[in-house]
Amino acid sequence: MKRRQRQRQILDLLQLDSELGVDDACARLGASAATVRREFAQLAAEGRVEKTWGGIRLKNVLAAEPAGPAAFQQRLTENAAEKRAIAGGAAQLLEEGDVVMIDGGTTTYQLCEFIALKRIRIITNSLVIAQAVDRLKGRQRGAEIYLTGGILQPESSVLSGPPAEAFLKRYHARWAFLSAAGVDAKEATNHNEAVLASERLMIEQSERVALLVDHTKLGHRAMCGLCTLAKVDYLFTGDTPETRKFARAHHGGKLQVHLAEFAGAIASR
């Protein structure tokens, strides 16, 4: 891999996590510690990042190639480690050749790192997801991106409305990956009524459905009903005492609950 390409990937990873350590970068780039340290030093010398204890971070997360609007960026920093762990687990479901519909959200956004180089087709209503996947794969072969048209939602960079819905009706997918603002014992709910029709179409047009939600969403209800849990095959969330209770309640049923371990989680059982 050429040096500038590796540095571009480091900067793209910083868009997902804002801070990056040497060991983490080695694992995610497949590079040696010496190589990573050299790239970190070069980026710092160019003023593109600043050094931290054992790694680097962006000097100004919102100013350096923002992942989306300020409101989206703010939500992206909330429970970031958990969201990345959730996305990493969900991405393992995908196989070469799969078609996956992905709804816009800060947890589904974390999928980008794990799926950009997979030879799959992504159908999404999210500008930031489409852009992140394109940046992360660079000139390498990887995911093909199909972006819906529609009305831009300014706080999320999600496209909605009749054009988006007409686009989604044209395709069939093996998977739908969606986020939600709330999940209780019976249904998943969301805040933004404008995108509900598109989200429901993703469910209808897909063979299997996976919900990606951090632990704070479980046990809560948002304003608008998205779907009953009977329509969901997998739920990925963080491993906490509360989510373990939820998993036990659904053990043996159609819904498969996967608990992702993440830094900062409460380990008591």
User: Given this model, what pLDDT does residue 267 score?
Assistant: 54
- The dihedral of CA 48, 105, 250, 172: what is its sign? negative
How many structural domains does the chain have? 2
Asked whether residue 11 falls in the same domain as residue 81, the answer is: no
Task: Confirm whether 206 is domain-assigned.
Answer: yes
Residue-wise burial string across 224-259, b where 16 or more C-beta atoms lie within 10 A, e elsewhere: bebbebebbbbbbbbbbeebeebbeeeeeeebebbb
User: Given this model, what pLDDT does residue 217 score?
Assistant: 95
Task: Confirm whether 265 is domain-assigned.
Answer: no
User: Given this model, what pLDDT does residue 66 score?
Assistant: 47
Asked whether residue 192 falls in the same domain as residue 104, the answer is: yes
Expressed as residue numbers, the domain containing 36 is 3-58
Task: Confirm whether 169 is domain-assigned.
Answer: yes
Task: Confirm whether 199 is domain-assigned.
Answer: yes
User: Given this model, what pLDDT does residue 136 score?
Assistant: 84
Please count the CA atoms within 13 angstroms of the CA of 91 that sit on its side-chain side.
22
Asked whether residue 84 falls in the same domain as residue 35, the answer is: no
CATH of the domain at 30: 1.10.10.10
User: Scanning the structure block, which residue is given the tokens 């199909």?
Assistant: 146
In this prediction, the residues of the chain whose per-residue pLDDT falls under 70 are: 1, 59-68, 264-269
Q: pLDDT tens digit string along 87-134?
A: 999 999 999 999 999 999 999 999 998 999 999 999 999 999 999 999
Backbone φ and ψ of 91, nearest 5°: -60, -25
> Nearest to residue 31, comparing CAs of 2, 57, 66?
2
Task: Confirm whether 64 is domain-assigned.
Answer: no
CATH of the domain at 234: 3.40.50.1360
Asked whether residue 155 falls in the same domain as residue 94, the answer is: yes
